[in-house]
């Protein structure tokens, strides 16, 4: 089953529900939505994984990227609070394998998702360059968050940079 993401913004928070697979194909629209919401005042994100069947590394790296969104220009900026709720055994295992519980707040007890009106984000990519940039940024963030990920993703990142150069693009 493919996956999709539903979102809502209420007060200073965004609410995200992942249905099916959280993957590179729906991580881009999620990043775009989150950055737009953070730019206008949202300071937290709640991610519900109760209906999620799996997470790929790009999607997980995108969640970590949210935490470090630049909310202002001061050196004492408060990071975005990202909370993962209702993780399944499968999604918790995937997140743990990449060190996410040390980087994001993962609630162990079940949480009732708030009654917000969710809208389904579009799926897919509008251009190859933005897709490559997101995949690069997400994996770089995973490496920065847990040095053990360098052995896993370092060669992949080098290949992405090489591919971008072959296509005449700037480094992702």
- pLDDT of 22 higher than 50: yes
Report if residue 139 sits inside a domain: no
- pLDDT of 93 higher than 60: yes
Report if residue 165 sits inside a domain: no
What is d(CA 83, CA 102) in angstroms, rounded to the nearest whole number?
12
pTM: 0.89
Cβ distance 40 to 72 under 8 Å? no
Report if residue 155 sits inside a domain: no
What is d(CA 149, CA 77) in angstroms, rounded to the nearest whole number?
26
Report if residue 132 sits inside a domain: no
Q: In this predicted structure, what is the pLDDT of residue 74? A: 45
Mean pLDDT of 20-38: 94
What is d(CA 139, CA 141) in angstroms, rounded to the nearest whole number?
5
> What kind and span of H or E run contains 67?
helix 57-67
Q: What is the CATH number of the domain that holds 16?
A: 3.30.750.24
Report if residue 136 sits inside a domain: no
The gap between the terminal CA atoms of the chain, to the nearest Å, is 30
Q: Produce one character per residue of 65-79: b if its CB has 16 or more CB atoms within 10 Å, e if not.
A: bbbebeeeeeeeeee
What is d(CA 85, CA 44) in angstroms, rounded to the nearest whole number?
13
Cβ distance 42 to 78 under 8 Å? no
> Would you call 17 helix, strand, or coil by DSSP?
strand
Domain that holds residue 20: 4-123
Count the domains in the chain. Answer: 1
- pLDDT of 44 higher than 60: yes
> Per residue in 107-150, pLDDT tens?
989 999 898 999 999 887 667 788 888 899 999 999 999 999 99
């Amino acid at each position: 089953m493919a996956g999709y993401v539903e979102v809502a913004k209420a007060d200073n928070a965004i609410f995200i529900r992942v249905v099916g697979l959280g993957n590179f194909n729906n991580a881009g629209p999620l990043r775009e939505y989150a950055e737009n919401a953070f730019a206008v005042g949202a300071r937290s994100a709640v991610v519900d994984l109760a209906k999620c069947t799996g997470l790929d590394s790009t999607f997980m790296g995108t969640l970590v990227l949210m935490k470090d969104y630049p909310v202002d220009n001061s050196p004492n900026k408060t990071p975005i609070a990202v909370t993962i709720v209702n993780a399944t055994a499968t999604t918790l295992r995937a997140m743990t394998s990449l060190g996410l519980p040390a980087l994001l707040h993962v609630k162990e007890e079940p949480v009732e998702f708030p009654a917000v009106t969710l809208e389904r984000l579009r799926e897919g990519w509008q251009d190859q360059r933005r897709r490559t940039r997101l995949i690069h940024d997400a994996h770089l963030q995973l490496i920065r968050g847990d040095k053990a990920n360098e052995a896993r993703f370092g060669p992949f990142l080098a290949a992405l940079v090489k591919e971008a150069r072959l296509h005449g693009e700037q480094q992702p």
